[in-house]
Amino acid sequence: MKDIKHFLRQNSLRPTKQRVIIANYLFDGVNKHVTAETLSNKLLKMKAGISLATIYNTLNDFYEKGLLKKLMINSERIYFDTNTEHHHHFYSKKDQKLIDINVDMKVSGLPKPPKNKKINKIEVLVHLDN
């Protein structure tokens, strides 16, 4: 896809074969949460022979350019989120799955931050039972 190459160049990333494949999958319009492992599995199914090292490099490169958000949620693995807007999540431990919450939520009753500290952002994680 021409668009993806252009998109990568716009973000100071050389459109190599591997990056194009990965970006095409990640930025297909449907927001995703991936770990290196889940992405690797997807790519294996697509028969794209991309090494794990490259998958890690690429996810981190995309992250550094702001194309992905990093989530570390009650879990052992780092999730990369293609939705880089500020938003919240449902999390099902049982399914090991994250679901975006895209509506605006308000947190009330927040105490003052400690002296000399400023609030940067508020993250709400809604744990699901089943």
Residue 120 binds which of DNA, a copy of itself, none (CB < 5-8 A, kind-dependent): a copy of itself
Q: Which strand (E) or helix (H) includes residue 45?
A: helix 36-45
Binding of residue 49 to DNA (CB under 7 A): yes
By the criterion CB under 8 A, which residues form the site for a copy of itself? 72-76, 90, 92, 99, 101, 103-111, 113-114, 116-130
d(CA 67, CA 6): 14
Residue 116 binds which of a copy of itself, DNA, none (CB < 5-8 A, kind-dependent): a copy of itself
92, β-bridge pairs: 97, 128
Q: Which DSSP letter does residue 97 get?
A: E
CB atoms within 10 A of CB 73: 17
Six-digit token string for 128? 């699901």
Residue 16 binds which of DNA, a copy of itself, none (CB < 5-8 A, kind-dependent): DNA
CB nearer to DNA: pick between 28 and 37:
37
Binding of residue 37 to DNA (CB under 7 A): yes
